[in-house]
């Protein structure tokens, strides 16, 4: 491959990452903290791209020690992505003092590089840099790279696990919550997993004697970053202005206090009857913002008991419990529909849903059909 093509690609990438970083800092959509954390990540990638450009294409600079600064960022990506995840999924999330503990390895590495800049001999650093360019890299350096990437993967999978736990907890507390921002978050995390997987392969190749494949992995990395940053820009432009997360951090950290408590079958059935009568007679499922706390107040029953009754009596979470009522209401509207102007979206709102994605997901879960498919089956049945 022509080396000039790679140069052009790196130049475009550098411009795009700094542009998106500045765009995020002034973007009014979404949470300001989330935008700031993502902007910092992209700013660091911009510096990495510039450093790679100087290293790969052997551009001489007066202080080659500066080229090691981007290596310290490897200890910052993981913690920043983890905090970014928390800022997206939690309502009213703020950074806490304990958050800075995650950055101790990064601070240590920054101090080491600063020491290198202040005290190391420039000629020795240049020689080391040239050895690295020629792939004459000591084995302990490669092992260090693998450990650093393992550090990143730890935080990436920790972030994905956090999303799963938050969604599970939110479904125990709310009948609806906005998951639109989760799509962008999951996309970002998945892209970083792929990007660092390519980086891992790039680090392993010299160990197994495939040094000629380094240019290929470098090209793959550059092409994927190009796809990633352009996809992010498009998604940010179409991002909704909703700033809410799924639940508060306090709700997330609160344990199920009924774990280990006992409800007799008689008490359980009595509570279930009370709950069902309240849901049907008052049509509480039509409230798109209904929460378990609302039901608890209305039934004069501790929220832990309501949750336990739903979990043990119906073998589901609060989210599915309420949405099953909503799906049944939607089915009834479809079956009795006489107004030709009534749209599927109108039925969605009339049955208590406030999100098209939630409506489609719940409807397919309980009927095995999408709303459109169900509507068509009703129409076919009435004409046959």
Share of the chain above pLDDT 70, in %: 80
Task: Based on the fold, state whether residues 300 and 327 are members of the same structural domain.
Answer: no
pLDDT at 122 over 70: no
CA nearest to 152, candidates 100, 217, 207, 198: 198
Structural domains of the chain, count: 3
Please, what is the angle between helix 74-89 and helix 104-119, to 10°? 150
Residues 137, 122: Cα–Cα separation, whole Å: 18
Q: What does R_g of the chain's alpha carbons equal in angstroms?
A: 27
Q: How confident is the model at residue 384 (pLDDT cuts 50, 70, 90)?
A: very low
Dihedral (Cα; 311, 313, 315, 318), 10-degree rounding: -50
Q: Domain boundary at 300, 315, 330, which? A: 315
Give the pLDDT band (50/70/90) at residue 183.
confident
* Tens of pLDDT, residues 354-376: 888 889 999 999 999 999 998 88
Same-domain check for residues 128 and 206: yes
Last residue of a domain, one of 268, 300, 315: 315
Same domain (yes/no): 15, 151? yes
Residues 36 and 162 in one domain: yes
**Residue 314: its pLDDT value, please?**
93
Let me know whether 173 and 265 are in one domain: no
Mean predicted lDDT score pLDDT of the chain:
83
Cα end-to-end distance, the chain, whole Å:
63
Domain end, chosen from 287, 315, 343, is at 315
301 shares a domain with 359:
no
Half-sphere exposure of 364 (CA within 13 A, CB side): 9
Model confidence at 382, pLDDT cuts 50, 70, 90, reads low
Rounded Cα gap, residues 126 and 119, in angstroms: 14
| Claim to verify: residue 107 and residue 15 sit in the same structural domain | yes
Q: What is the CATH number of the domain that holds 111?
A: 1.20.1070
Which pLDDT tens digit goes with each residue over 57-86?
A: 666 666 555 666 777 888 999 999 999 999
Highest mean pLDDT (candidates 243-247, 262-266, 271-275): 271-275
Measured CA distances, 261 to 84, 211, 256 (Å): 36, 61, 10
Tell me the two tokens of residue 81. Answer: 């992505």
Domain extent for 383: 322-384
In a shared domain, residues 191 and 304: no
CATH of the domain at 355: 1.10.10
Instruction: Tell me how crowded residue 36 is: count the other CB atoms within 10 A of its CB.
Output: 15
């Amino acid at each position: 491959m022509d080396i000039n093509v790679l140069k052009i690609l790196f130049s475009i990438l550098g411009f795009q990452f700094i542009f998106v970083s500045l765009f995020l800092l002034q973007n009014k959509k979404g949470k300001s903290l989330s935008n700031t954390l993502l902007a910092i990540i992209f700013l660091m990638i911009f510096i990495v791209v510039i450093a790679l450009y100087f290293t790969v294409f052997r551009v001489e600079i007066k202080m080659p020690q500066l080229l090691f600064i981007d290596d310290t960022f490897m200890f910052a990506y993981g913690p920043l992505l983890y905090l970014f995840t928390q800022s997206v999924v939690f309502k009213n999330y703020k950074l806490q003092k304990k958050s800075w503990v995650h950055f101790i390895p990064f601070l240590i590495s920054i101090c080491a590089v600063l020491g290198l800049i202040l005290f190391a001999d420039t000629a020795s650093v240049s020689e080391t840099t040239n050895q690295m360019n020629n792939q004459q890299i000591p084995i302990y350096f490669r092992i260090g790279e693998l450990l650093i990437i393992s550090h990143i993967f730890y935080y990436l999978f920790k972030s994905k696990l956090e999303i799963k736990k938050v969604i599970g907890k939110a479904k125990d507390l709310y009948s609806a919550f906005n998951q639109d921002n989760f799509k962008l978050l999951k996309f970002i995390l998945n892209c970083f997993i792929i990007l660092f997987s390519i980086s891992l392969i790039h680090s392993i190749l010299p160990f197994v004697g495939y040094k000629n494949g380094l240019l290929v992995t470098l090209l793959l990395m550059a092409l994927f970053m190009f796809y990633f940053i352009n996809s992010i820009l498009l998604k940010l432009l179409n991002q909704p202005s909703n700033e809410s997360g799924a639940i508060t951090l306090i709700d997330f950290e609160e344990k199920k206090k009924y774990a280990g408590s006992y409800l007799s079958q008689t008490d359980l059935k009595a509570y279930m009857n009370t709950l069902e009568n309240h849901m049907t007679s008052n049509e509480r499922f039509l409230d798109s913002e209904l929460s378990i706390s609302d039901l608890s107040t209305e039934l004069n029953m501790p929220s832990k008991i309501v949750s336990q009754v739903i979990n043990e009596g119906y073998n589901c979470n609060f989210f599915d419990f309420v949405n099953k009522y909503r799906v049944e209401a939607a089915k009834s509207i479809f079956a009795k529909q006489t107004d030709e102007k009534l749209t599927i979206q109108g039925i969605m709102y009339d049955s208590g849903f406030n999100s098209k994605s939630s409506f489609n997901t719940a409807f397919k879960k309980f009927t095995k059909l999408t709303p459109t498919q169900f509507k068509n089956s009703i129409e076919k049945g009435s004409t046959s």
